[in-house]
Amino acid sequence: MNIGFCTCTILALLFLILSIIFALLKEKGANYVSGFNTLNHPEKYDKAYISRDMRNQCFIYFVILSIGSVLSYYLSAYVAIVAILVWLILLFRNFNLDAEKAFEKYLIQ
């Protein structure tokens, strides 16, 4: 077994567990999103949409890392590096330091 396979598998399982947790918690899952509790008026945000979006993001991360894990096992360990780079690009694309800006798409109209 190579280290890329192990890394992708562990990360994929972590994100699968997180997506299941957000799916089960529904609206309550928004409280576990980083930065949500620091908002001035959290009641102005759609908690169900936040939880669904986090569930979907974690599931997409799971799929990417699972594909990387399987391909690195059968093809080459370098495929895992590509999968992890794709995951990091997607992760940091959704990263914001300002909580208000990060949650502005979840405002209730």
- Over residues 46-52, the mean pLDDT reads 93
Residue 58: closest CA among 38, 96, 32? 32
Domain count, the chain: 1
pLDDT in tens, 4-27: 999 999 999 999 999 999 999 999
CA dist 71 and 48 (Å) reads 35
Q: Are 50 and 106 in contact (CB under 8 A)?
A: yes
Q: Which domain holds residue 56?
A: 3-106
Residue 72: closest CA among 86, 54, 56, 84? 84
- Over residues 53-77, the mean pLDDT reads 95
Residue 94: closest CA among 47, 33, 5? 33
